[in-house]
Every structure is written in structure tokens, then in C-alpha cells.
Amino acid sequence: VSETNQLARVEAYSDGVFAIAATLLVLEIKVPSLGVHAPAAELLNAVRALWPSYLAFVIGFTTILIMWVSHHTAIRMLNKASKRFLYANGVLLLVITFIPFPTALLARYIDTELASVVVAFYSMVAVLLNVAFILWNAAMQRPVYLVKPEISRERLEKFKRQSWGSLLLSIVTTAVSWWFPMVGLGLIIAAFVFWIIAVPVGDTAER
């Protein structure tokens, strides 16, 4: 019971950070400032012209949601925590917390000639996120083995391969974005589809 409680608090703190990071993204969508006698069409256009903000919002939210699902899936494989695991979790949360910044950059510059810089920067943060996720996964197995005995080796190996695949994809995306930012954006969305389809979710893997 005591061990479970400890993991429960790690989950509670992590859930808080995931939820807040995801929700703060909306603060980047700024209300357009018009004169009160402006015609309705002008406000409509201004609200439509915010599409880069909406797009960035959805991308940032989806990134955090997918990491939350993966965090949730992985932590349910454990039956205890270690000190190293707690700090590795902290590093993962540090990167999650940072995501509103590249998202805000994306919102601001995606429809300009500077798109390549901001898509590449976003992908670079995705690289960091993947690295943090891999370290976090490693901390589950070393120096203490925290994983429940009933979790099969193959499942852990598959999870690991997927994480490395995702890291590789984010590195490629960073490089590509410099020359073809829209291709980079497409790869970011492709990575979402990959995670959503490929990664099993908690106890519901078989469904």
C-alpha cells in the first residue's frame, strides 16, 4: 500500500504539471484589439487571422496529451519508485513545462518567412522531450528494477524501440525543418499519428 501511495503522489504531481502546461497554452491566443466602432467583418477577419495561434495551440496540446498518455502507460508498469526515478521524472516534467514557449514562438512566426526557425526550434524541443523520456524509461530499470514482475520483457523492449524511433524522427524533423518548414510541420503531425496508433495505452493495450 505504501509503495503504491508513493507512485500515486508522483502521478498526482505529474498530472498537475501536464494539466497546467497544456492549459497555459491558451494564454498565447491574444484577443485582437479593435476600435469599438469597427465593422463586424473586421473582428471576424481578426479572429480568423489568429489561425497560427489555433494551430500552435492544437500542436502544443497534442504533444502534451500524448506524453501524458505515455507517462500514464509507463508508470502503471511500476510497483515502486527510486530516487533516480523521481529526479528523472522531474527532468521530464521540466521539458513538458517548457513547451508553452516553443508553442508561442510557433504561433507568432509560423505564417512568416521565419517559419523554418520556429518549426526547427519546436522539433528541437521534441528532441529534448524524447531524450528525457528515454532517460526516464531507463531510470525504471536501473539501478533498481522498479517494473512489476508480470510485465513482459518484450513489452519493455517494444516500448524502448518506439521511444528511440520517436527520437530519431524528431532529429530528422529538426534537420528537415531548416529547409522545408512545412514538411517539418507535416512530420510533427505524422509523429502524433505514430504515437496515437503505435503506443499501447495502459491496461487497455489489447483493445
Binders of a copy of itself in range 178-207 (CB under 8 A): 196, 200-204, 207
Q: Which is nearer to a copy of itself, 128 or 169 (CB)?
A: 128
Distance CA 94, CA 132 (A): 9
Question: Measured between alpha carbons, how far is 162 from 156 in angstroms, rounded to an integer?
Answer: 10
Q: What is the 3-state secondary structure (H, E, C) of 81-138?
A: CCHHHHHHHHHHHHHHHHCHHHHHHHHHHCCCCCHHHHHHHHHHHHHHHHHHHHHHHH
Give the nearer residue to a copy of itself in terms of CB position, either 94 or 175: 94
**CA–CA separation, 44 vs 47, rounded Å?**
5
146-165 residues in contact with a copy of itself (CB under 8 A) are none
Nearer to a copy of itself, 118 or 126 (CB): 118
Cell of 197: 496508433
Q: How far is the CB of 22 from a copy of itself (least distance, A)?
A: 6
Q: Which 3-22 residues touch a copy of itself, going by CB under 8 A?
A: 3, 5-6, 9, 11-13, 15-22
Binding to a copy of itself (CB under 8 A) within 98-127 occurs at: 98-101, 104-105, 108-109, 112-114, 116-118, 121
